[in-house]
Chains A and B, each alone.
Chain A
Amino acid sequence: MSAARPSDSPEAVRELPPVPSTSRTSFAELSVRQRMREKLKAARTKAEITLSQEEPSPDPRRLKGIRERKPGIRLDKMSDNEKFREMPESESHLPSKVKFCDSVKKLKGKSTLQNDFPSEEEAYNFFTFNFDAVPEKMKAGARKKNGLNEEEEVEEECVETHEDEQEEDEMDEDVCLVKDDDLFIGQTDEDLLVMKPVDCESYTEQLKREKEFLFVPSMLPVPASEKMPRNMQPRYLEDEGLYTGERPFVSQSNQNILENRILRQDQGKEWFGDDGKILALPNPIKQSSTRPPIFSLEEGIAPELETVYRKAIKMTSTNQYFVGPGDFQGLFQLDIDISGLIFTHHPCFSREHVLAAKLAQLYDQYLARKQKNLTKLLTDKLHALRSAVQYSIEGGGDGVPVAQQSIPEYKMEIRQTRRLRDTEQEKDRTLLKAIIKVWKQIKSLRDFQKFTNTPMKLYMRKEEVDRKSDEKAYEAEIQAEIKELLEECMEEYEKKMEEYKTELQDWKSWKKTQKSKKKKKKKVTHVDEESEDYDFGEERIKPIPPKMANSLEIEQQVREKADNCRRKPGEPILVPELTLSGSITPTEQCPRAEVVRREDVKKRSAFIKVLFNSKEVSRTVTRPISSDFRVHFGQIFNLQIINWPESLKLQIYETTGISSTTLLAEVFLPVPETAVLTGSAPLEEIEFSSDQRVMLDHEGVGSGVSFSFEADGSNKMTLMTSGKVSSSVSWAAGERGIPLIPPLSQQNTGIPSALKNIDAIASIGTSGLTDMKKLAKWAAEAKLDPNDPNNAALMQLIMVTTSGEAHVPDFFRLEQLQQEFNFVSDEEFNRSKRFRLLQLRNEEVPEFRNYKQVPSHEREISEKIFQDYEKRVQERDVIDSKNYLDAHRAVVANYLQKVRESVISRFLIAKHRFLLSDLVNEEEIPSLGILGLSLFKLAEPKRPLRPRRKERKKVTAQNLSDGDIKLLVNIIRAYDIPVRKPVMSKLQQPSKSSRSFNEMFAASPSAQSPPNSPDWAFNQVLVRPFVEVSFQRTVCRTTTAEGPSPCWNEELELPFRAPNGDYSTHSLQSVKDEVFINVFDEVLHDAVEDDRERGSGIHTHIERHWLGCVKIPFTTIYFQARIDGTFKVNIPPVLLGYSKEKNVGMERGYDSVRNLSEGSYITLFITIEPQLIPGESVREKMNEMLKKFDTQEDEKLLQAAEKYEAECTSKFPSRQCLTTVIDLDGKTVFITRYIKPLNPPQELLDAVPNGSQTAAELVARYVALIPFLPDSVSFAGICDLWSTSDQFLYLLAGDEEEHAVLLCNYFLGMGKKAWLIIGNAIPEGPTAYVLTLEQSQYVIWNPSTGCFYGQYDTFCPLKNVYCLISCDNIWFNMQEYDSPGRINFDISKPKHWKPFFSRSLPFPGLHSIQPEELTYEHSDKAAALELQSRIEKILKDKIMEWRPTRPTRWNRYCTSTLRNFLPLLEQNHGKDVEDDHQAELQKQLGYYRVSGFPIHMPYSEVRPLIEAVHSTRVHTIDVSNVEFALAVYVHAYPQNVLSVWIYVASLVRNR
């Protein structure tokens, strides 16, 4: 809007007022006129001053502008308020105008000199330009209220030149106001609108306007006087020697500008310091920049981030009370003896007590005075002096000048002594009087209250004196005194007379003034004189000659005084004696209030705390306060200190009743002198008092409470609790009498030394680096201000530099100050049994893995807990050969143990990682078909006679505890149990050893049919077998059945206990227990001694004969979930007294199935109730992890292997496909590398023709003789480790894989076609077998037993075949079935067997990891013999040990016979020699009934042998006359493979 345009700029001015005027508004309350005047005046004077000052300024115009503008602006400011405006304007304008005119005229005179300054006319035009617009504006009616103000301002501006104009303006205003009234009446568009060209302000005009409200501070220096408060001189601190930092550099002109600006402001002077400079910090720049520096990440650590090592030091002497380790001088001892406490006042004091205390106090005073006896002393002295004077006067004739001179001195002394004596005498007398007075008070009080509280009694002993001599002495004394006084007075008089004379002369000359002066002077002198002389002096006030002393007056005075302070002549000397012999009124006779008081006292007790250096070190026992308010402690405290004591303090506490304890007072004990030693220190009484205010409601007077003895309550007194502690402090004397006192030097070691020690650098004494020295030199030259706090660090450094040695940081320490702030040392921390136990449990160390609850207190953990663990850790490297009897095996066992541990520790972490399936139990959503089926099943009729197997629910292992799990063993039936042989029977059986493979697997059974004798069937003796199952020391047995093919069908239930109660998957997998299923024959013997008894009772003796056993590891049951099948019973090759039944009748029906069976079989069903989920996934995962862990295989090969495995498992998920395995080093190896033809021991091949079946059997037997060590037990749930054949032969331990690989390699080495079978067998589970092709027949070998089976053998333990492995390929079974009898082993058909290497991926020629050739150590016969005898001895000892109650007799004859049999058995590989034995034994031991059997085992260690013997239960025979025979034979094969035979037999003599 153009109409508003002219008002714009002034308005802006008002809205944005210039800085200097901002605070002026506060003056608004003042009368505006007054203010105006003042301001104008100030402005004018200022203008004058500035003008005079700034004359040399190059640009006066600008300055003037500033000055001029000022008043105008101020007016403008005022005019903010409308009300203000009306009144002052008309009145104030005139004077202001005049003044302005004056100032401006002055200015004008100067300014006109300059050409560029706008003239008055110009200025006028400028301002009136706006005015011209006003009328138009008014016409438009759009004038705002503000407009008024603007105009006024403008008026003011131009007032100096056009006074008339002002009037006009006023008029205009009025017009405007009038017009405003009818502003909006009769408006038309034309009236409102007007066309005008666009206003354009030129730049110069703009600048001019800006000048009006812009303040530009001058660059000229400000005079010091303006910056300082009035009448102040600038003060320069630097000149006074104080440190003033260096100011930051600011250019002088900038500084001037700032000063000028600040001065304009209110209280601007506050910004200036004493030296007239702007206050400034020494260095306002922040040390570190706030803005982060831009680092390029490539560069290394910046130099400022490098670290410096400071050696850690113990802050020893930071506290002066502690002695550093360096200056430790032993302990010193301070003995504090606190003997007792006496209250001089106590709140529980009765009035009588108060008096008694007072009396006691007085009496104590009296005694003390009497002891000193000052009066007597002074009297004697007086006499002596007098006599001396007398003597010197008398002997004056001798003319000794010295004596003459000393007479006045003597006299002076006499006078003083006399005065002293008089006061002492007076004191004595008043004390005596006081004592008597108090005693009288007590007596009256006792009479009044009718009871006695204190045992105090005062006796006055009168010492009669000779009246006459006494009087005489008294008189003499008085006379002497009078005489002396007279003398004195005479002297005085003479002196005064002389004075008087001179004075008189003076007085005569200045009569008037002298008189008053004299008077004054005399008064002054008289004050110093004795009182007797007073009136004497008084007379002399007048300027008359002094009077002669009146002797009578003096006499009177002396006598008066003597009366007062001295005993009257003839009066007896009173000696008070205070005794405690008085009796206290018993409590019953006291009034109520007193009783209460006494009871209160009884309740109270006191104790004292001893504070050393303000720390409580000990306290006395709490002793009750006795009725006389004394407490006896009699305790001595020995304080062992190491430094000079700072303070010793006793705190006296009083306890009331049981609970409340109040601090009565604190008493400081002086630290004793070094000479004060225990024994010589006297007890000192130290007074104390308390300002506690105690008011009591009984007879007690309380503390701090005023009370009175008077009846009317006047003469009040207030007593505070107070008392005395008697104690002594002394230094103890050590051995040999050396006082235990800290060295005196320590007394002075105060803060300074402590400070010195605190400074780490100072105490270490660092650095003497060369550059440091340079720095120090520089600092010395630069004369750095040592007081500057900024230099402090540098100065310290320099100080150190000059004294220290070189120091180079050579290592870096993490966690600085850690050690200093530790609560406990590392050793102590590690000693904590509880923490150790917790940690070991957490680490799952076997001993502590399942430790249930760790005690919460250290003391509850016995040291024994760790013993086993520590022993194991210690003995890890110690080889214990005792258990192994064979150094090599001990080493191997140790090695295996280490491998085991390393493997376990490596996978312990991985064990905790879970797959999704481990955590989430995702039930499959039933499909429609299944749903329909189940619905159909519901409708099905129930058929109870045809039970179905229900799927059991699987239980996760976490929520199990002891007793929850049971092992169910269902023993169904057995076949071909050996039968008892009639003693005399002799049967010849054909030797099977010569049979060929063809014969064995031939369908025709004719060869095996034994020649039957007709009487065989009738001759046979029944066998009564039963089965005993033992598991985890629990034994269950079935009932006894009859016959060689018994049927039990019994379910046995055995509880299962997990090791350490840990039912986790991991733990269950590592259970090593085995289920032993032993078959026994129950034999009944007639035990009747006498035939005559036979009719009346049955006496039979039951014997059990072991027939054979089946061992099934628990882990197999666990992994398989159930075991169902027929197992071969492990029957010893020879069972004395038994033979295999060859039933003719049976031969016919089953021969096709059983023709190959040589042993006995038992059908079992074993399962765990409830079913546990086997942790198979863990193993899988481990393998996965291991593959990634380390390998030397080609990446492509591994990828192919993975792909192959994935393909195979996707088709047959249940079949395991093995392509890579892990070797002993934990590396992944492709499986074919294990297969390579290897040479079997030459010894074995020498015996039989190569390539023959016997050779193969022999080799298989050799392999089986290598002890079996299942991986799944040692590396439970972790992984299978495959060792190469040479490793296997060295370790002499391994599981199925190693056996199978070795056997396969041997067969290949013998020129056979052999493969490794990966499959599943019972009872081993997943295992490896060997397949050979023998004359178009496939033979399956069990490598761990050495047995072989035909492809179609039903009793073959191998149940599933998954894949075949040769030295150059892997074939996966793609056929529908996987049991060996139903599959085709022809690997050339890719439809049946999926090869790994095919045309698309040819065999890359992987070289084997097996050695080129195996070398064998020759068997050591001597060692075997030694071992044999040792085993025999151990076993014999064991058997005797197992029969603790009965004697064990050894039949030597039988033993030697058996010993002869054993090598024969070994030779024949345990086959078909029993008949020979039987016959032989029968021949030799006709009288005995012999039952026994040989046990054959591969040798690993002794323990399994003992177990095996124990499990046969030979030792349990209970017959009284039983004898035993035991023989051991060890046969050594190459590479230290040992075959052990143990022949055990029991013999019972036949009658």
Chain B
Amino acid sequence: MAELHLFGEIEGASGFSERRLFCKWGLHAGGAWTLLAGAGAGQTQVDDPQVDDVAHWGHPLDMHLATKGLQGWPKLLLEVWHVDSWGRHGLAGYGVCAVPSAPGSHLLTCVTWSPRGSPGQRLLGPGAPRLLRPEAAASAGERFRLRTESAGTVQLRLGVLPRHLHRFGVAL
């Protein structure tokens, strides 16, 4: 019966080697969590910075969750994509960002990584390998199979507003 209201924004990203970035995001939570209102997934616009390599999105997030248990505390799965000059989309990085468990406003930095292709694939150009199921990026299992390289970071600002959690002995 406890509720968690998340609101904030995906501010932007920096440190990516590519320009013209956009970000797909999705909320991942355990089975005990229910999304009462708001979008649980989305995609930002493509930001094409003219000056430096910082992409600004300012993409609003607003999710109202209800939960009957603590398992599977919500996480945000971020996929950063880039668009090349021919309009082709390519993956720039995956990142997972746990929603802070403390009430209040939080400035989060989510580091990202992208799967590293075989030498042959890398020779071919921007078509990098992607995860078959991007949800795998949010789960802990079987990650050891991946060979990855680090990508840039995504900045988020998240406000966390828990409600009634204390009724169930959860002090935040």
A contacts, CB < 8 Å to B: 292, 295, 297, 814-815, 817-818, 821-826, 828-829, 832, 835, 838-839, 841-842
Contacts and interface: CB of A to CB of B under 8 A. Distances in A.
Given A817-B71, A823-B70, 11 more contacts: A818-B31, A818-B32, A821-B69, A823-B2, A823-B69, A823-B167, A823-B168, A824-B1, A835-B66, A838-B36, A839-B37
B105 interface: no
A818 B38 contact: no
Given A838-B37, A841-B37, A824 B71 contact: no
Contact of B1 (A292, A815, A832, A839): A832
Contacts of A814: 31
B36 A842 contact: yes
B72 A815 contact: yes
A130 B37 CA distance: 91
Given A828-B1, A829-B66, A821 B36 contact: no
B25 to A, nearest CB: 16
A828 B167 CA distance: 15
Contact of A829 (B1, B38, B71): B1
Interface in B25-83: 30-32, 34, 36-38, 64, 66-72
Contacts of B38: 842
Nearest to A816: B71
Contacts of A823: 1-2, 67-70, 167-168
A1237 to B, nearest CB: 49
Contacts of B64: 838
Given A815-B30, A838-B64, A821 B37 contact: no
Nearest to A836: B36
A832 B32 CA distance: 15
A297 B147 CA distance: 13
A829 B67 CA distance: 8
A824 B31 CA distance: 13
A842 B36 CA distance: 7
A599 to B, nearest CB: 42
13 contacts: A817-B71, A822-B32, A823-B70, A824-B168, A825-B68, A828-B68, A829-B1, A829-B66, A829-B68, A832-B66, A835-B1, A835-B66, A839-B37
Nearest to A856: B163
A826 B68 CA distance: 8
Nearest to B31: A815
B145 interface: yes
A841 B37 CA distance: 8
A319 to B, nearest CB: 16
Nearest to B143: A292
A295 B143 CA distance: 12
B71 A295 contact: no
B100 to A, nearest CB: 20
Contacts of B34: 829, 835, 839
B86 interface: no
Contacts of B72: 815
A395 to B, nearest CB: 85
Contacts of B36: 835, 838-839, 842
A839 B37 CA distance: 6
Contacts of B144: 292
Contacts of A835: 1, 34, 36, 66
Interface of B: 1-2, 30-32, 34, 36-38, 64, 66-72, 144-145, 167-168
Contacts of B66: 829, 832, 835, 838
B37 A824 contact: no
Contact of B71 (A821, A826, A839): A821
A835 B144 CA distance: 39
From B31, B34, B36, B145, residue with most partner A Cβ within 10 Å: B36
A1301 B151 CA distance: 59
A825 B32 CA distance: 10
A290 to B, nearest CB: 10
Q: 6 shortest A-B CB distances, which residue pairs?
A: A823-B168, A842-B37, A838-B36, A822-B69, A292-B144, A829-B68
Contacts of A832: 1, 66
A829 B168 CA distance: 13
A205 B38 CA distance: 84
Contacts of B31: 814-815, 818
B147 to A, nearest CB: 9
Nearest to A815: B31
A314 B167 CA distance: 22
A814 B139 CA distance: 13
B145 A292 contact: yes
Contacts of A838: 36-37, 64, 66
B42 to A, nearest CB: 10
A1244 B60 CA distance: 64
Nearest to A835: B66
Nearest to B64: A838
A39 B67 CA distance: 77
B30 A818 contact: yes
Contacts of B67: 823
Contact of A815 (B2, B37, B71, B145): B71
A838 B34 CA distance: 11
A814 B145 CA distance: 22
Given A292-B144, A295-B145, A828-B1, A818 B37 contact: no
Nearest to A819: B69
A839 B64 CA distance: 10
A818 B168 contact: no
A626 to B, nearest CB: 42
Nearest to B70: A821
A824 B145 contact: no
Contacts of A839: 34, 36-37
A1332 B32 CA distance: 65
Contacts of A824: 1, 68, 168
A699 B123 CA distance: 97
Nearest to A837: B36
A839 B2 CA distance: 15
A133 B53 CA distance: 68
Contacts of A829: 1, 34, 66, 68
A822 B67 CA distance: 9
A903 B68 CA distance: 33
A814 B68 CA distance: 16
A822 B68 contact: yes
B69 A818 contact: yes
Contacts of A815: 30-32, 71-72
A838 B1 CA distance: 13
Nearest to B132: A297
Nearest to A843: B37
Contacts of B167: 823
Nearest to A821: B69
Given A835-B36, A838-B37, A818 B1 contact: no
A756 B133 CA distance: 43
Contacts of A818: 30-32, 69, 71
B46 to A, nearest CB: 12
A828 B64 CA distance: 19
Contacts of B68: 822-826, 828-829
B36 to A, nearest CB: 4
A826 B2 CA distance: 13
B96 to A, nearest CB: 18
Contacts of A821: 69-71
A814 B30 CA distance: 10
A1136 B118 CA distance: 91
A912 to B, nearest CB: 8
Contacts of B71: 815, 817-818, 821
A822 B68 CA distance: 5
B34 to A, nearest CB: 7
A822 B1 CA distance: 10
Contacts of B168: 823-824
A1397 B152 CA distance: 55
Contacts of B2: 823
A560 to B, nearest CB: 76
Contacts of B30: 815, 818
